[in-house]
Amino acid sequence: MKKVLGLAIFLAILYAVEMTFAPNARTPGNHYSLGERIGLYGILSLGAGVLIIAGGLDLSLGSVVGLCATLLAMMMMEWGWNPFTAMIAVVLLGAVIGLANGLIITKLHMQPFIVTLCGLFLFRGAARWISGERQLGLRSEFPELKSWLAGSLFGVPVVLLMLMLLAAVATVFLHGSVLGRYWFAIGSNERAARYSGIPTDRFKIMAYMLCSALGGLFSIFFLMKYNSVTPQSTGEFFELYAIAGAVLGGCSLRGGEGTVLGILIGTCIIWLPPNMATFFGIQDSWTPIFIGGALLLGAILDEALRTRSAAREGN
């Protein structure tokens, strides 16, 4: 809780600095745009965070987004699928990809880094091959669907409302149920969790499926907002932003630690600096520098806290 409180204070300071020294940032339009971005990329961070809590890691998430967005555009524009059927299909595709990752990792006892790194190349290549290296889009079709999913409800971006709904469900599951606590136990000490009777493989597979399914859901909102997909680059580095949001939000890459609220705050911390840079006239190149520095500092502090905690327990 102290870590989440510290993150919240840091976020409040960033926001206060922007609102104080950049009057143009106070407009409703800027807040709407910022909320839309946080809502969109928060979906990925939530999936990555839950997986990290369970002791997993997915480097293929961005490529899953690219593949799902490519297939969604082709289903709707070239294959004549009903839009809702196509959207359900890409979410299920994401879940199937997560199932495959989880099975390979748990049953063949392979490292998540290796398996998902291979997936990063495989799914990106599949998107390029299926599309024939073409840029795809919805053009002027499905205006009502795009205006709904990429629009607002009571002045709030629909995608942000979707993130809040997902976060509420994740909070109840992770922090208020026995099954959710299993993921924390597995992430903290998988061997001990297995000896205590928890079906560790099953729950790790579920975590991978959830993470990739949220990647499929993200691809729907992404395509509806930007109206086009480039198989060669769509989703590139998105997995890193998702992991960064989760880690900055207090999820330890060693597993077993993290909160849904922290993940949301971490996502805000990731995407507020680019917004600030726009109004302060700072080059975009400073954004990844800030993210990388913040991640490194977070990792150092996490290791320091662990060492200090271990020393106390030893005494």
Residue 229, phi then psi, degrees to nearest 5: -140, 135
168-177, 210-219, 222-231, 241-250: the lowest-pLDDT one: 241-250
Mean pLDDT of 26-36: 92
CA distance 119 to 65: 12
Reduced to 3 states (helix: H, G, I; strand: E, B; else coil), residue 274 is helix
User: What are the φ and ψ backbone dihedral angles of 137, each rounded to 5 degrees?
Assistant: -165, 170
Helix, strand, or coil (residue 22): coil
Question: Are the C-beta atoms of residues 223 and 138 closer than 8 Å to each other?
Answer: yes
* 289 pLDDT tier (thresholds 50, 70, 90): confident
Residue type (1 letter), 163: L
Provide CB contacts within 8 A for 159, sequence distance 6+: 36, 39, 40, 43, 149, 150, 221, 225
Q: Say whether pLDDT at 284 is over 80.
A: no
Provide the pLDDT confidence category of residue 281 given band limits of 50, 70 and 90.
Answer: confident
Q: What residue segments make up the domains of the chain, in order of their start?
A: 33-274
Residue with tokens 């989703």: 235
Q: What is residue 201's DSSP assignment? A: H
pLDDT for the residue 4: 83
Q: What is the DSSP string of 282-310?
A: --TTHHHHHHHHHHHHHHHHHHHHHHHHH
Query: Lowest-pLDDT range, 142-146, 190-194, 286-290?
Result: 286-290
Strand partners for 157: 152
Question: What separation in angstroms does the CA of 248 have from each of 138, 183, 212, 243, 263?
Answer: 35, 20, 21, 8, 7
Residue 254 scores a pLDDT above 90: no
> For the whole prediction, is pTM greater than 0.85?
yes
The candidate with the shortest Cα–Cα distance to 103, out of 186, 202, 211, 216, is 202
The pLDDT, as a whole number, for residue 314 is 62
pLDDT above 90 covers a percentage of the chain that reads: 70
Residue 3 has pLDDT above 80, yes or no: no
Whether residue 299 is predicted with pLDDT greater than 80 in this model: the reply is no
Model confidence at 121: pLDDT above 70: yes
Cα(215)–Cα(108) distance, integer angstroms = 24
In terms of Cβ atoms closer than 10 Å to its own Cβ (0-12, 13-18, 19+), residue 2 is exposed
Q: The dihedral of CA 135, 240, 156, 21: what is its sign?
A: negative
Q: Which two structure tokens, joined as six digits, stand for 206?
A: 């579920």
Q: Which of 277, 251, 281 is nearest to 264 (CA)?
A: 251
Q: How far apart are the first and last CA of the chain?
A: 24
Pairing label, strands 152-153, 156-157: antiparallel
Answer yes or no: is pLDDT of 162 > 80: yes
How long is the chain?
315
User: How does DSSP assign 269-283, residue by residue?
Assistant: HHHHHHHHHHHHT--
Say if residue 250's pLDDT is above 90. Answer: no
